[in-house]
A = this chain, B = another copy of it.
């Protein structure tokens, strides 16, 4: 197990002279994005002759000296001046151009000028831009679209570019199935669609490499070894064995690499990405890439991508860094460098960072991330509210145009995110699900633009308003009604345990799945239990907490639990039966300071649009009759 920096150093040292062999000759337009294999000099000057830079007349400057408003000069056509358009060759004996706007044309065909021309005015001299034989671009230069202009203008029509490094990507794992040949209905429990090879292949292409994907090998040392040895003997410059890079009984990558070549390294103190193997077979670098998707991507970014860059003579791509503030504190393991994925958004002057799930298997933690915070291995965690550095995964403007929503989860937020994106391509809605009370706390701390809440005042039977008075007495906010929604019990289709209501939750044969403390749904449950005189301690599974309606529904669908409390839309989405308990009010809390933002204005326009309302109604269990109305607080 090596620290990340040392492991990278080891890689670059071992392969410091490893380059792609050979080059290919491409026409200049085809070479865009490629890397020059040799320096390119101009074959032709540009302009190739002295030429007019304006429409007008070409003159010998000395013929115009002395011209003035009070003593204009007359120039004779065909002797003293010659009409030229932009780009025309300067006629012999001339060395300046007078703009057409500065000329009076006389009836006899001559012209009158009222100011002198200085030598070479409005003339593009030979070689002004490019002189033949001069260096246009050094080797290792990446050809951009403007370079095409310089090359063609300089008489260079084809260039020698570095070959793309070739990766052999060998996915392994008996649990993997091929999406091209497997119907979604045929997938057996525990089977997973193989995706890492396509993800890393696309990443390799974005680094300027190309790849050959091998068919998936089951966990069989012989099959994996034969693929690796075929790849090492072939054209590949780099080998990637995906999966089985750990030390388990079915993990063969290390054995295969050790058998065919040498292991340089096993294990890096990064998280995710720890079980990485670095080896060499026949002088070719071989990577044992962890199978968890986030681990695979991060290991690629830290090792494989940089090596591709090195082979192409390019610097490693850099991500923009930004000071951000975490919305909650994060504990981290000593001795590993953690790559914490975060959502970002600018609230007031601060950019706030909300941590995403940290598991190596959670691919959406990367697809939803706006940034990554690296927690060094000597740090036990990060505090909230203190500046930390994040690497941006998206442009800063995107972060600035993100509406940060923190609070209760509701499926209409997904619809809202999509509608907003459809109407305004540059606006993003980013939701973090921490429950209604968590949303209020985020508003209090200035950590969001908006919070979705559904908090029942059990004394008054009203929603939300009394909570604002109690928890945000000093923060001016606006309360906008979003939807009424059905909360109820989600049970497997057919309701096998014959559940009829909350009172059944204390039955001994019933396993319940709960929502987290602080969520509106939890408050609702506790209220209902209390009303019925049920002790929560008697509810089996009361401590089994999930953070979203969909997770509760998934728990019921998976059979781990018999029943959960949640919204009808979640039950409908997963085909569960639904036993209504109550209709509740889900509103948006918007701090006064954010209410005038353009993004919030556009969001409020969106929620009252008929398309949004129709889509929400189609989810089932919602009323949008009063959506968008402001509630007095």
Q: Which residue of B lies closest to A200 (CB)?
A: B145
| Closest beta carbon of chain B to A295's beta carbon, Å | 11
Q: A124-B361, A132-B573, A198-B29 are in contact. Are A157 and B145 (CB under 8 A)?
A: no
Are A551 and B131 interface neighbours, CB within 8 A? yes
B554 and A29 contact, CB distance less than 8 A: no
Q: Which of B44, B202, B314 contacts A148 (CB 8 A)?
A: B202
Q: Once the chains are docked, how many angstroms separate the CA of A133 from the CA of B620?
A: 14
In the complex, the chain B residue whose C-beta lies closest to that of A95 is: B560
Tell me the bound Cα distance from A606 to B317 in angstroms: 25
Determine which of B46, B50, B206, B313 lies in contact with A560 in the assembled complex, contact meaning CB atoms within 8 Å: B50
Asked if A192 contacts B153 (CB within 8 A), the reply is yes
Q: Which residues of B contact A32 (CB under 8 A)?
A: 202, 205
Q: A125 touches which one: B136, B314, B554 (CB < 8 A)? A: B554
**A367 interfacial contact with B, CB 8 Å:** yes
**Is there an interface contact between B313 and A85, defined as CB atoms closer than 8 Å?**
no
| Contact across chains for A138 and B418 when beta carbons are under 8 A apart | yes
Distance between Cα atoms of A192 and B155 in the complex (Å)? 9
Q: Is the Cβ of B134 less than 8 Å from the Cβ of A44?
A: no
A379-417 to B contact mask, C-beta < 8 Å, 1/0: 000000000000000011110010000000000001101
Is A187 in contact with B87, judged by CB distance below 8 angstroms? no
A53 touches B361 (CB 8 A): yes
Cα separation A418 to B130 with both chains bound (whole Å): 17
Q: A150-B367, A367-B150, A558-B49 are in contact. Are A134 and B293 (CB under 8 A)?
A: no
B residues less than 8 Å from A165 (CB atoms)? none
Q: Verify if A315 is at the interface (C-beta below 8 Å from B).
A: yes
Chain B residue contacts of A202, Cβ below 8 A: 29, 32, 145, 148
> Complex formed: what's the CA distance from A151 to B196 in Å?
11
A359, B425: Cβ atoms closer than 8 Å: no
Cβ of A537 under 8 Å from chain B: no
Contact A87 B175 (CB under 8 A): yes
Cα distance A184–B48 when bound, in Å? 11
The smallest beta-carbon distance between A418 and chain B, in angstroms, is 4
Least CB separation from A205: chain B residue? B32
Contact (Cβ within 8 A) B199 A146 = yes
Q: Which residue on chain B has the smallest CB distance to residue A127?
A: B554
Q: Are A558 and B149 also in contact (CB < 8 A) when A53-B359, A119-B544 are?
A: no
Partner of A418, one of B85, B132, B135, B317: B135
Is B53 a contact partner of A198 (Cβ separation < 8 A)?
no
Closest B residue to A319 by beta carbon equals: B395
Does A581 make an interface contact (CB < 8 A)? no
| Measured CA separation A317–B28 after assembly (Å) | 25
Q: Which residue of B lies closest to A290 (CB)?
A: B86
- Contact at B131–A550, with CB atoms within 8 Å? yes
Q: Which of A51, A401, A554 has the most CB of B within 10 A?
A: A554
- Bound form: Cα–Cα A153–B558 in Å: 17
B55 touches A145 (CB 8 A): no
Please indicate the chain B residues that have their CB under 8 angstroms from the CB of A415 in the complex.
Answer: 135
Q: Is the CB of B187 within 8 A of A44?
A: yes
Q: Interface segment, A242-250, A444-452, A461-469? A: A242-250
| Contact status B85-A249, CB under 8 Å | yes
Q: Which of B134, B138, B248 contacts A421 (CB 8 A)?
A: B138
Alpha-carbon distance A157/B88, docked complex (angstroms): 57
Residue pair B190, A554 in contact (C-beta under 8 Å): no
Once the chains are docked, how many angstroms separate the CA of A148 from the CA of B426?
22
Which A258-310 residues sit within 8 Å CB-CB of chain B?
A: 291, 293, 297, 309-310
A426, B306: Cα distance in complex, Å: 12
Contact between B574 and A132, CB atoms less than 8 A apart: yes
Q: Give complex CA distance A39, B366 in Å.
A: 18
B425 touches A310 (CB 8 A): yes
A573/B138 contact (C-beta < 8 A), A190-B89, A426-B315 known:
no
Contact in complex: B414, A135 (CB < 8 Å):
yes
Residues in A84-132 with C-beta less than 8 Å from chain B:
85-89, 95, 100, 119-120, 124-132
Q: Are B128's CB and A359's CB within 8 A?
A: yes
Residue in B closest to A314 when the chains form the complex, CB atoms: B425
What chain B residues lie within 8 Å of A312 (beta carbons)? 425
Report chain B residues within 8 Å CB of A199: 145-146, 148-149
Per-position binary interface string of chain A over residues 161-202, scored 1 when its CB falls under 8 Å from any chain B CB and 0 otherwise: 000000000000101000110001001011111111011111
Provided the pairs A184-B44, A366-B146 are in contact, do residues A395 and B554 lie with their beta carbons within 8 angstroms?
Answer: no
Chain B nearest Cβ from A26, distance in angstroms: 13
Q: Are A558 and B125 in contact (CB under 8 A)?
A: yes
Q: Are A131 and B553 in contact (CB under 8 A)?
A: yes
Q: Which residues of B contact A362 (CB under 8 A)?
A: 128-129
> Taking the nearest CB of chain B, how far is it from the CB of A317, in angstroms?
7
Does A137 sit within 8 A of B, measured CB to CB?
yes
**Is A503 positioned at the interface, with any CB of B under 8 Å from its CB?**
no
Q: Give chain B residues whose Cβ lies under 8 Å from the Cβ of A313.
A: 421-422, 425
Residue A3 CB within 8 A of the other chain: no
Q: Are B28 and A198 in contact (CB under 8 A)?
A: yes
Q: Does A583 contact B (CB under 8 A)?
A: no
Contact with B along A322-365 (1 / 0, CB 8 A): 00000000000000000000000000000000000101011111
User: What 11 new A-B contacts, CB under 8 Å, besides A128-B551, A129-B363, A149-B293?
Assistant: A32-B202, A48-B192, A129-B362, A136-B364, A145-B202, A148-B202, A149-B366, A153-B195, A157-B180, A310-B425, A320-B320
Q: List 13 A-B contacts (CB under 8 A).
A: A32-B202, A51-B190, A87-B291, A125-B560, A126-B558, A132-B554, A132-B574, A136-B364, A136-B367, A149-B367, A152-B179, A312-B425, A315-B395
